[in-house]
Structure 1
Amino acid sequence: MGQEISGKIAYITGGSSGIGKAAAHHFAKEGVHLGLIARRKENLEETQQELETYGVNIAICRADISKPDQVKTAVQQFEQKLGKADILINNAAISDYGNFQDMDEEVWKHIFEVNVFGTYHVLKEVLPHLVSKQKGDIINVSSSNGLKATAGSTAYSASKFAIQGMSEALMQEVRKENIRVFTMNPSLVATKLAFGDKLEEKNEDKFMQPEDIAEYMVAQLKLNQRIFIKQSAQWATNPF
């Protein structure tokens, strides 16, 4: 038998759109209380209103995860309003594409500041919650680009490869605390991160949807505490 996640507390970064928002909806359906971090206040407020219909506790905080002081404030607010986290979903990320020689150094730095250091800042603040409970779950959303790089994605791929290394090492460190670290590596998902302003052109018969990834997250979290999936890749069946 697996385990129920109803009544647990999850903090989700990038929780107002794409995979993060879909995860919030699926978690709320399961009775999970939610703390959502994102950069756009209006999107957070809209998501909060949608989630209130599930009857769970919701807290939101506008924050840029590349800023450690903002992350610290958000986590403190969530702890006061909801309690310490049982689940952490590191989902927030940015991307930019272009040939290595053409990409500006500042773009490179910003991608790492958000994708790598942002994940670090959130982990630094939330991991003590899980350690104090001697139990918990962390899902780091990497990318298929973190397993196999593609031309034109040097900065993004490098940042996602870094997430792989950080996740692997962290997993080894915290297993003795009964904390599970899952790393997910989805291929192309129909989100603004991948499609930009052309998201309305997504083909639901071909491309993975945020809801697919959210369902997979729930399934992982419901596994018996004695087992976890260290690393997994999610692919569309026939996107051609």
Structure 2
Amino acid sequence: MQSLQGKKALITGGSRGIGRATALELAKEGAELGLIARSEESFESIRKDLTEIGAKFVTAATDVSDETAVQLAVKEIGEQLGTIDILINNAAVGAHGPFLDISTDTWKKVLDTNVMGMVYVTKAVLPGMMERDRGDIINISSMSGIYGTKGSSAYSASKFAVIGLSESLMQEVRPHNIRVSVLTPSLVETDLVRGDSGERNPKKFTQAEDLAEYITSLLKLEQRTFIKTSAIWGTNPF
């Protein structure tokens, strides 16, 4: 098992949900963090929590669907942290409704964020990993990337694409000692799932902390081996 002490980890969608939980878990292991999220205000809570545990971190308010902004954010984070060892592509948006009711603009937003955003961030980080012949990329897909369901056409299309991207990239970069894993969790209880009540129901839904613990365990495996695809299901997966 390898140590994560001093590793530089970049997490997109890093201020809330799975990204936030993973940031906290990696910080406990001694990793140094670069967090990307769309709004500056969203970092307030995670900044407080990371500061309390003495973590080293950098934040960047960036829309991952903007390639130029992504390149600038990754450059700035790298200048403060150093070369990125771990990339967790977590940023995503959802869309639900009948196919004919989902606007073209919504389709573009979903694909530009969930797929192209992952492309832009990975392109910005991967060269450094390849130069050092070492790195980890974990892409967050969904059970909606394994099979489509009624009303999820745009979201499912994006998450299917994440799996295909991950599989192809893995085969390209594994000779450089870079691991690419893709996770396909069932329904994870986040702010979006909880809605206005804000009440957590850990007996019913997988928690973001559960995925964070699993992601950390994947990263601690010796570099010679990795789990390529992981389907993670809770008590109530739907």
The bucket for the TM-score relative to the shorter chain is over 0.9
Work out the percentage of aligned pairs sharing the same amino acid. Answer: 50
CA distance in 2 between counterparts of 1:202 and 1:143 reads 21
Q: Which amino acid aligns with 1:209?
A: Q
Give, in angstroms, the shift of residue 177 of structure 1: 0.4
- Contact 1:63–1:70 at 8 Å: present in 2 too? yes
CA distance in 2 between counterparts of 1:45 and 1:59 reads 13
Q: Which amino acid aligns with 2:38?
A: R
Give, in angstroms, the shift of residue 47 of structure 1: 1.2
Q: Which amino acid aligns with 1:206?
A: K
CA distance in 2 between counterparts of 1:139 and 1:239 reads 21
Q: Which residue of 2 aligns with 1:22?
A: 21
* SS of the residue 1:129 aligns to: helix
Unmatched 5+ residue regions in structure 1? none
CA distance in 2 between counterparts of 1:31 and 1:147 reads 34
Give the TM-score normalised by the residue count of structure 1. Answer: 0.96
- Contact 1:190–1:207 at 8 Å: present in 2 too? yes
Q: Which residue of 2 aligns with 1:5?
A: 4
CA distance in 2 between counterparts of 1:74 and 1:226 reads 30
Q: Which amino acid aligns with 1:9?
A: K
CA distance in 2 between counterparts of 1:199 and 1:70 reads 34
CA distance in 1 between counterparts of 2:213 and 2:153 reads 30
Give, in angstroms, the shift of residue 49 of structure 1: 2.3
Q: Which residue of 1 aligns with 2:231?
A: 233
Shift >2 Å, 4+ stretches: 53-56, 196-199, 237-240
CA distance in 2 between counterparts of 1:55 and 1:92 reads 25
CA distance in 2 between counterparts of 1:227 and 1:199 reads 42
Q: Which residue of 1 aligns with 2:99?
A: 100
CA distance in 1 between counterparts of 2:93 and 2:237 reads 23
Give the TM-score normalised by the residue count of structure 2. Answer: 0.96
After superposition, residues 26-45 of structure 1 pair within 5 angstroms as: 26-45=25-44
- Contact 1:184–1:233 at 8 Å: present in 2 too? yes
- Contact 1:130–1:179 at 8 Å: present in 2 too? yes
Give, in angstroms, the shift of residue 202 of structure 1: 3.6
Q: Which residue of 1 aligns with 2:217?
A: 219
Q: Which residue of 1 aligns with 2:89?
A: 90
Q: How well do the aligned residues superpose, as a CA RMSD in angstroms?
A: 1.3
Give, in angstroms, the shift of residue 10 of structure 1: 0.1
After superposition, residues 136-155 of structure 1 pair within 5 angstroms as: 136-155=135-154
CA distance in 2 between counterparts of 1:52 and 1:167 reads 33
* SS of the residue 2:206 aligns to: coil
Q: Which residue of 2 aligns with 1:120?
A: 119
Call closer, same or farther: CA 1:72–1:196 in 2, change over 3 Å.
farther
